[in-house]
Structures are given as structure tokens and as C-alpha cells.
A = this chain, B = another copy of it.
Amino acid sequence: MTNICIFGAGRIGQLHAANVAANPRSHLVSVVDINEEAATSLAGQYGARVETDADTALDRPDVDAVIIGAPTTLHVDLILASARRGKPVFCEKPIDLDIARVNDCLAEMQTLGVPFGVGFNRRFDPTHRKMKGAIDAGDIGDIEIIVITSRDPAPPPVDYVKSSGGYFRDSTIHDLDLARWLLSEPVVEVSAFGSNLVDPAIADAGDFDTAVTSLKSASGKLCQINNSRRAVYGFDQRVEVFGSKGMLQTSNQLESGLLRWSESGTGALDRLKLFFLERYEDSFRTELDEFLDAIEQGRQPSVSGEDGRQALILADAAQQSAETGRAIRVNDNRQEEAG
């Protein structure tokens, strides 16, 4: 049984808390949030302790491991504070919006050596995992083209946008991580266009709401990602991997399996599941399971700090490309204009 302390009592903290409480291998021991009311409300649901001070919370000997769902600006401090106390830590993406801070954090984390996982939950989606397994089994031969469609049902509040690090670092980063994971080789070039087509307030905040990104891997495999902050038909999540021997696609998840045939059209599927909490519900549970596995086995989780860092490098490159109109060459932790 792993006793877990959760930082952050917001939407993602609530999700992790529910999963920790429901998992037979973990126990929610405390919830930390400077918003004491939120912390109390969440902790109360599961009989957990309420904390408002991070150090106090982490010093408690009954805390075996830490899950961080706090605001991004707090991530690095909390990661290191946990790890310095020898406590395995799982942190939501991104580690930080500043690659220099991420580099420093990872350098120290490597010395500390405690299990450290980063929240790219989509890798744990059952359909994505089945796709990855089929690719690794050689079902489609060598990967040649990946097409990722990722569109939110509705734009977030502008306040969220302002502190998000920008569309590429906030949202596309999930798709960049998926692409890296599926490609199984380094991305060496990134090109992107960003636009404002959804919400003028997002443009006013200096961010994009519609974007396309292209990647080239070391051996020339190509990837296209398209993103929108608004799809009226729902949360659209599709991955297509085309290879020398065939193609694999993941399909969207639906509210139900009902099909409608009417005068206006035939075989209409039900609406898509609402948003990521519904669509990726299973992935968060499996992600937790894998974190618990890593703790029990004294190993690093499969989605590592380095994965978090690499995805941020690609997101930074996409942002830079969208701003400059140049493809950006990526080389380990550096990036430069291509051409």
C-alpha cells in the first residue's frame, strides 16, 4: 500500500485523488493546497488530511509518494522538495515552461534517483497502447507518416490561456509526446503555423487557437499534427500511423454505441465523449498503476522526466517556427533554425 500526498485540489488533483482512493494499492493520505477550502473539500471526500504548507506535508513520515497537480510554476520546487526527501514523485505536464529550469531540475533529479514520472496520460490510453503494441510487433512495417488530430470541444477561459505558456506548450505538447513515443526515434526538425480563428480574446492574449505542426524524425519519418481549441461536434482525438505494410488508426470514443438513420443521413454515430476527463478516463487509472509499479519495483516510470523535457523542446521549437516562419532543427536539448 502506497500512501500518497496530492498537491493541488483543482480539476486534475480531484481526478488523481479519486483514482488513488479507488486503487487497492494506494491510499490518499493528504491533500495540499493553499486554497484551504478546496483542499478541505477534496480531502474530506476520502478521509485524507488537509495541508496548506508543502514542507510540512512532505515531512510527514506516512507520505510514501507525491502526485503534483498544482499550478505549473510550482512544479519544479515541489518535484525537488519531494525527491530530496527520497519520495517518489509524479508531476503533471509540463515540468516547467522554461527549458532552462527543466534542465536544472532534471540534472538534480538524476543525482537524487527517486522514481519520477511525468503526466503524459495519453500514452496510457488503451487504444493508443494497442496501436503502439501493433507497431512494435511489426504489423505496419516501418512508420512513414503519422497524422494526429487533436481538437478541444471548446476554448478555455482567457485567464487560463495567459498562464498556459501558449498553445503549443499547453496543448500540442501532448501530441508531440505521442508522436515521439510512436516514432521511437528522435525528432530532428519542427515546422508550425499558428492562427487565430476561434476566439479573438485568445489573439488579444498573444496566443494561437488553431495550429498545424510538422515533424521530421532522424530517419525521415514525417508527422503532421493539427489542433483547434474548438470542435462543435466534441473532443476529437484521432491518431493515424501509416507504414510500409499498412495503416493503423485510433477512433474517437462516443457517448454510446447508438447509430441514427434519418431522412438527412444514415448511420450517424452518437456524439463524442465530452472532454479529456471522459475520453481519457482509463488512461489516468493506468498511469497511476504504472507509477505504483515503478515505486514497488524501485525503477523509473515509463514516462520519464526526460520525456517531459523532450516534449517541451519540441513545443518550444513549434512556437518558434510559428513565430519566425522557419523550420527549427532540434538536436538534443538545443534547437536552431533549419536551412
Q: Contact partner of A193 among B189, B197, B250, CB < 8 A? A: B189
A126-154 to B contact mask, C-beta < 8 Å, 1/0: 11001100100001001011010101000
Chain B CB within 8 A of A104 CB: no
Q: Contact partner of A263 among B149, B211, B214, B232, CB < 8 A? A: B232
> Which of the candidate stretches A113-121, A175-183, A216-224 sits at the interface with the other chain?
A216-224
Smallest Cβ distance from A188 to chain B, in angstroms? 10
Chain B CB within 8 A of A242 CB: yes
Q: Is the CB of B232 within 8 A of A144?
A: no
Q: Contact partner of A250 among B145, B258, B271, B337, CB < 8 A? A: B258
> Which of the candidate stretches A63-71, A95-103, A294-302, A325-333 sits at the interface with the other chain?
A325-333
13 CB contacts below 8 A, A to B, read A130-B255, A130-B256, A145-B226, A147-B226, A198-B244, A232-B244, A249-B259, A250-B258, A321-B327, A324-B339, A325-B326, A325-B329, A325-B337
The interface centre, meaning the residue of A126, A134, A223, A224 with most chain B CB atoms within 10 A of its CB, is A224
**Given A228-B242, A268-B269, A324-B339, 16 other A-B residues pairs in contact with their CB atoms under 8 A:** A126-B256, A130-B270, A145-B210, A147-B149, A147-B224, A191-B193, A192-B214, A222-B226, A230-B244, A232-B245, A232-B246, A251-B259, A253-B257, A266-B268, A267-B267, A326-B326
Smallest Cβ distance from A96 to chain B, in angstroms? 27
Query: Given A130-B270, A147-B149, A189 and B254 touching (CB < 8 A)?
Result: no
Query: Given A242-B228, A249-B261, A216 and B234 touching (CB < 8 A)?
Result: no
- Residues of B near A230 (CB, < 8 A) are 244
- Residues of B near A255 (CB, < 8 A) are 130
Smallest Cβ distance from A55 to chain B, in angstroms? 35
Q: Is the CB of B233 within 8 A of A246?
A: yes
Chain B CB within 8 A of A304 CB: no
Q: Is the CB of B257 within 8 A of A250?
A: yes
Smallest Cβ distance from A335 to chain B, in angstroms? 13
Smallest Cβ distance from A281 to chain B, in angstroms? 13
Chain B CB within 8 A of A247 CB: yes
Chain B CB within 8 A of A231 CB: yes
Please give me the 9 A-B residue pairs with the lowest Cβ-Cβ distance, nearest first. A325-B339, A325-B338, A195-B220, A268-B268, A265-B268, A247-B261, A325-B327, A251-B257, A249-B259
Smallest Cβ distance from A266 to chain B, in angstroms? 5
Smallest Cβ distance from A121 to chain B, in angstroms? 16
- Residues of B near A246 (CB, < 8 A) are 232-233, 260-263
Chain B CB within 8 A of A252 CB: yes
Q: Contact partner of A212 among B222, B248, B269, B270, CB < 8 A? A: B222
